[in-house]
Amino acid sequence: MEAKAYTNLKHNNLLEMIDYRSSAVEVKKDGSKVPIAYMVLKLVKEGDLQNWIAWGRFEAKICRFYFKQMLKTLHFIHSKGFAHRDLKPHNILVDSEYNLIIADFGLSCSIKGPSQDESGYLKTGLGTKNYMAPEIHRIFDLKTKEKMEKEH
Ligand SMILES: Nc1ncnc2c1ncn2[C@@H]1O[C@H](COP(=O)(O)OP(=O)(O)O)[C@@H](O)[C@H]1O
Ligand SMILES: [Mg+2]
């Protein structure tokens, strides 16, 4: 799904995938061959937003600039039928012109399709706990409660 997302999502504020092979062969030093899949992503030179935040707070003006970029890019992702599902400062990179680049589509999914109920809301409890939407948290809490009830 990660490679599918990168293939379908071309935008100035999204990480660019340079190459992808689902079935390639790696030749080891001893000559043996191992089947591999690989993805080549563009290097974004100024690190991730978490690093920048660690240096201190951004001024309100800069926050507004970055929030606007983030929301516009998220809107684009959703308009193309994808959900990122793990948006957090670690997964937002900063390019050499100090624009945001959304990365890490490892948990992304298709919004539409047979596994979705057309409501527009996702129902799988995954992501990074501190950044999950309230409705996804509720799924997590429910699952934990069920597990605890089964164990006791
Ligand atoms: N294309 C890139 N350019 C620069 N740094 C990157 C790039 N991709 C990832 N990183 C850095 O590596 C970290 C982990 O990469 P990520 O794709 O988020 O993998 P994971 O699934 O392990 O979270 C990111 O938080 C970021 O700091
Ligand atoms: Mg990540």
Domains and CATH numbers, the chain: 2-151 (1.10.510.10)
Verify whether ligand 1 is closer than 6 Å to residue 44 (CB atom): yes
Pocket test for ligand 1, best of 19, 104, 128, 131 (most atoms within 8 A of CB): 104
Distance CA(20)–CA(41), nearest Å, equals 9
Residue 22: count of CB within 10 angstroms of its CB: 10
Taking the C-alpha atoms of residue 24 and residue 100, their distance in angstroms, rounded to an integer, is: 32
Residue 93's closest CA among 42, 46, 40? 46
pLDDT at 136: 83
pTM, whole model, 2 decimals? Answer: 0.88
Q: Per residue in 42-86, pLDDT tens? A: 999 999 999 999 999 999 999 999 999 999 999 999 999 999 999
> In this structure, which residue's CA is closest to atom 16 in ligand 1?
104
State residue 151's pLDDT score: 80
Residue-level pLDDT at 141: 75
Share of the chain above pLDDT 70, in %: 95
Tell me, yes or no, if 86 is annotated catalytic: yes
CB atoms closer than 10 angstroms to residue 136: 19
Number of H helices and number of E strands within the chain? 4, 6
